[in-house]
Structure 1
Amino acid sequence: MKMKTHALLIGSAISLAAGQAMATGFAVSEQSVSAQGTAYAGAAALSENASNQWFNPATLAGLKKAEITAAVQQVIIDTSFKSNGASGPGDFKDLDPVVGSAFLALPLSDMMTFGLGINAPFGTKIEYEDNWGNVATDGLAALSPTTGDRYATMSDLKTYNVNPALGIQVTDNLNVGVGLSYQRIDADIESAFTRLEGDDDSYGWNIGLTFDADDNNHFGLAYRSKVEYDIDGDITFSPLPLIAQGTPPATANALAGKYNGSTSLDMPASAQFSYAGDLSDRTQILFGVEWMEWSSLDKLVIKHDGAPIPSPVVQEFDWGNTTRYSAGVRHTLASDTVLRFGVYKEDSTQNSDNRSPTSPDSDKIGVSLGAGFNPTDNMTVDVVYSHLFVDDADTNLTERGVLNGSYELDADVIGAQLSYRF
């Protein structure tokens, strides 16, 4: 931030980059129950069902029957903030979000399959109880007794994605795919200082290929472009940050209010590589690497009309790119029931100096167990359980008062998925 005064006033506007405890940054990994069962290892190389098109549109070419896949996952998050020193009585509110997605695969010929995905690739929902964080000892303590509320009280960020795609079989060993994403973002971010509400629509694209080196070794490679948003909305300022600068309360109350605001935000590009190796007719070993370009979220330039601070305000992020490494195994029983196991390790985008209270993101390890059943010849039901071991996320912020402590996170995911072929 170029000026501390600007940081005080803009408050929660920077929280557009809100955290999702289940994935790096604020990405939502939970798009496929079957892929989650192997911790996403092999997801861009397999054509298990229509949901694999999210990871690689080329997997559509491996589906030779029309198919609908729908998934729902319950995320159970246990998060708390432990202050270094005296703390207020508030903490996180218990929120257990539900994530849903749906995918269609429709063969157009023996060589070409159309796909359609509807999902939510980015998002967060975080709420704090009143008076959380460190006990304030500054000049604002009488009006704002704890520092946590000044950084975040609520974060509600949603994206909606519609992604038509096409998978083409080029040769017996090579498939290619291409897709187009329409995305919409809705954001409502609030702190004791400000509230930001805004939305926008934008587009992106994705491409991929799958390659069978031989009958037992299968590879997938895919890339998804960044999505660039120009968000228009409203910024509401409270009197607190103006009073903190010495503005008389009557003047601060007169200046506070709602103003037009706008900013640009880039959702990160991603690339992934998958491998599936057949150890036998029934057992596969799976590997995967996913890279996300979070460094594209280097700063926000927030423009506003009529607010009591100069425009624009520049907020630096300095998030780092991340990589997820995953490994898994897939085994089919004689009854055609599929058993899955996987583990992944994923980096954090942040450190203690740039960790947002609305984004308690940290390094994590995820472990998954899954299974797939076939009640009828044309129906598959998949289930999954995942547990995430998340490193404590230290933070040490001073812009709006000292917020010094550690986020402790623990998370579980349960999910079910239905695939129907017709």
Structure 2
Amino acid sequence: MFSKTLLAATITLATQQATAAGFQLNAQSATGLGRAFAGDAVIADNASVMSRNAAAMALFDSSQFSGGLNYIDTDIKVSDIQHNGQSIDNANNGSGTPVPNIYYIYRLNDQWAFGAGIYSNFGTTNNFDDSFGGPDSGSPLVGGAPTAKRFGGTTEVKSINYALTVSYRINEQFSLGGGLDIVQGSGKLKRDTGFANDTPLPPAMGGTITTNALDVEADGVGIGWNLGAVYELDERNRFGFSYHYSPEIEAEGDMFYNGGQGENQIDGQKLLMPLPSMAEFSGYHEIKDTKFAVHYSVQWIGWSAFDELNTSGGTTLNTYEWQDGMHYAIGGTYFLDDAWTLRAGYMYDTAAQDEKTSISVPDSDRQWFSAGFSYHFEKKHTVDFGLTYLLGKDVDVTETDPTGSLTATTHADAILAGVQYSYSF
């Protein structure tokens, strides 16, 4: 029972990282990063808009190319750790992750436009040092006790979205769009039992248990879709709405767990990972007789879809009490002159977790403070820069399993920086 419960706990903790709000990647462009993605479903200042709303491709009067790189530097602190009444040293897990993107929009005529893009919506890296939780222990039958190692471990999750989109302009006010999202997800997950190698199990169980509790390298592909619309009130004011249906990823690969008699492979089953769908409403308004525009977005993220984690064999590994999340963003753009554009934004981002928390998932409500600028040169060329400071909150965590409990406080901040190049032709 210990081994099966440990298997469920470690896999589900790692999978939470792929879908928790704290690890949703808002990194589709450096341009959007510089305004906290406020208005990004309708602004359409370069080809990256297709990642937020396919209908906004109809706003361009020429074909567009855009490519860039965002860098995410995370700082995750785990403090005040108590495991079965014993204090554990604090952990500070920092990591840097580059997130590239590339987009192309082909304007066929005044009504039709087609797009293709590669970007990411989900991903994380959160690795605890091998020393976390203390040294391996001996058999519980001879005075040993499992450490807190099984609550930490290694988690690396990545996703790539391959998008194909189309837009159609109905008239001067209305445009529609949609497309397919091919989502490729991969993960590397490792957990320790907290016991030394070949630790004897109780006589009634027989055999031994090893240090390695879980070692998974798996990947899979899912198919999603998106729909969008744009309404242009006039040349200075417009609104956009989009809906992205996210697929369930069926991940397979090398998956091993400790079943009490050494390592055992999980044969013939896939790990089913549902991703949240998203809906977004954006507005953009240029203020008459000024060089200033205001823009905003409200985004809903359907985290409650992650209700259970199952295998393709029908086994429920764990259940959750998720809540849907929201993003509220507002920003401003100042057109300094023909060459320079300045922008800034603020976002409030709500957590997906409610009652269930984990030190491996430092999820909380977050605030985004963003700024950026564009430099236009040689008429058709633009370079964008964006910078965001993401500020999280302290979260009190309690985790339990058959061997005991752990309490701690987690806090996660991040700095995001990006650069984007765009060309219109």
SS at match of 1:34: helix
How far, CA to CA, are the matches of 2:286 and 2:319 in structure 1?
A: 47
Moved segments of 4+, more than 6 Å? 134-138, 140-144
Please give the residue correspondences for 1:175-194 in structure 2 after superposition, counting only pairs within 5 Å: 175-192=175-192, 193-194=213-214
Q: Which residue of 2 aligns with 1:416?
A: 419
Deviates more, 1:193-202 or 1:341-350: 193-202
Would the alpha carbon gap of residues 217 and 413 (structure 1) be closer, same or farther in structure 2, given more than 3 Å must change? same
How far, CA to CA, are the matches of 1:142 and 1:366 in structure 2?
A: 49
Q: Which of 307, 312, 321 is 1:298 aligned to?
A: 307
Q: Which of 212, 223, 229 is 2:249 aligned to?
A: 229
SS at match of 2:110: coil
Deviates more, 1:211-220 or 1:342-351: 211-220
Please give the residue correspondences for 1:232-381 in structure 2 after superposition, counting only pairs within 5 Å: 232-238=252-258, 252=260, 254-260=261-267, 261-280=269-288, 282-302=291-311, 312-351=315-354, 353-381=355-383
Q: Which residue of 2 aligns with 1:308?
A: none
Would the alpha carbon gap of residues 55 and 142 (structure 1) be closer, same or farther in structure 2, given more than 3 Å must change? farther
Would the alpha carbon gap of residues 6 and 257 (structure 1) be closer, same or farther in structure 2, given more than 3 Å must change? closer
Shift of 1:11: 3.6
Q: Which of 32, 36, 41 is 2:38 aligned to?
A: 41
* Alpha-carbon contact 1:270-1:290 (below 8 Å) kept: yes
TM-score of the superposed pair, with normalisation by structure 2: 0.87
SS at match of 2:7: helix
Would the alpha carbon gap of residues 330 and 144 (structure 1) be closer, same or farther in structure 2, given more than 3 Å must change? farther
Q: Deviations over 1:58-87 (max 9, x none)?
A: 111111222211111111112111024454
Would the alpha carbon gap of residues 30 and 224 (structure 1) be closer, same or farther in structure 2, given more than 3 Å must change? same
Shift of 1:339: 0.6
How far, CA to CA, are the matches of 1:84 and 1:174 in structure 2?
A: 55
* Aligned residue type for 2:28: Q
Q: Which residue of 2 aligns with 1:205?
A: 225
Shift of 1:235: 2.7
Q: Which residue of 1 aligns with 2:75?
A: 78
Would the alpha carbon gap of residues 420 and 286 (structure 1) be closer, same or farther in structure 2, given more than 3 Å must change? same
SS at match of 1:19: helix
Give the aligned CA root-mean-square deviation in angstroms: 2.5
* Alpha-carbon contact 2:27-2:120 (below 8 Å) kept: no
* Aligned residue type for 1:50: A
* Aligned residue type for 1:330: T
SS at match of 2:404: coil
Aligned length: 398
How far, CA to CA, are the matches of 2:94 and 2:114 in structure 1?
A: 40
Between Structure 1 and Structure 2, the one with more strand by share is 2
Matched, 1:146 2:166: no
How far, CA to CA, are the matches of 1:332 and 1:42 in structure 2?
A: 16
Shift of 1:195: 2.3
Shift of 1:322: 0.2
* Alpha-carbon contact 1:12-1:195 (below 8 Å) kept: no
Deviates more, 1:334-343 or 1:137-146: 137-146
Shift of 1:162: 0.8
Q: Deviations over 1:145-173 (max 9, x none)?
A: 631x2023111111111101011111111
TM-score of the superposed pair, with normalisation by structure 1: 0.87
SS at match of 2:310: strand
Q: Deviations over 1:83-113 (max 9, x none)?
A: 2445444624431111111111111112211
How far, CA to CA, are the matches of 1:234 and 1:141 in structure 2?
A: 34
Would the alpha carbon gap of residues 155 and 143 (structure 1) be closer, same or farther in structure 2, given more than 3 Å must change? farther
Would the alpha carbon gap of residues 303 and 223 (structure 1) be closer, same or farther in structure 2, given more than 3 Å must change? closer
Q: Give aligned-pair identity as a percent.
A: 24
SS at match of 1:132: coil
How far, CA to CA, are the matches of 2:295 and 2:72 in structure 1?
A: 25
Would the alpha carbon gap of residues 70 and 257 (structure 1) be closer, same or farther in structure 2, given more than 3 Å must change? same
- Structure 1 unmatched ranges of 5 or more: 243-251, 305-310
Q: Deviations over 1:357-399 (max 9, x none)?
A: 3321111000100101012211100001110110112210011
Please give the residue correspondences for 1:91-170 in structure 2 after superposition, counting only pairs within 5 Å: 91-133=91-133, 139=140, 146-147=147-148, 149-170=149-170
How far, CA to CA, are the matches of 1:184 and 1:131 in structure 2?
A: 33
How far, CA to CA, are the matches of 2:16 and 2:7 in structure 1?
A: 18
How far, CA to CA, are the matches of 2:350 and 2:328 in structure 1?
A: 9
Q: Which residue of 2 aligns with 1:389?
A: 391
Would the alpha carbon gap of residues 256 and 41 (structure 1) be closer, same or farther in structure 2, given more than 3 Å must change? same
How far, CA to CA, are the matches of 1:416 and 1:76 in structure 2?
A: 15
How far, CA to CA, are the matches of 2:2 and 2:397 in structure 1?
A: 18
Q: Which residue of 2 aligns with 1:61?
A: 58
Shift of 1:412: 0.9
Q: Which residue of 1 aligns with 2:11?
A: 13
Would the alpha carbon gap of residues 41 and 142 (structure 1) be closer, same or farther in structure 2, given more than 3 Å must change? farther
* Aligned residue type for 2:271: T
* Aligned residue type for 2:334: H
Shift of 1:203: 0.7
Q: Which residue of 1 aligns with 2:209?
A: none
How far, CA to CA, are the matches of 2:237 and 2:317 in structure 1?
A: 49
Q: Which residue of 2 aligns with 1:249?
A: none
Q: Deviations over 1:126-185 (max 9, x none)?
A: 1111232599999499777631x2023111111111101011111111111111111111
SS at match of 2:358: coil
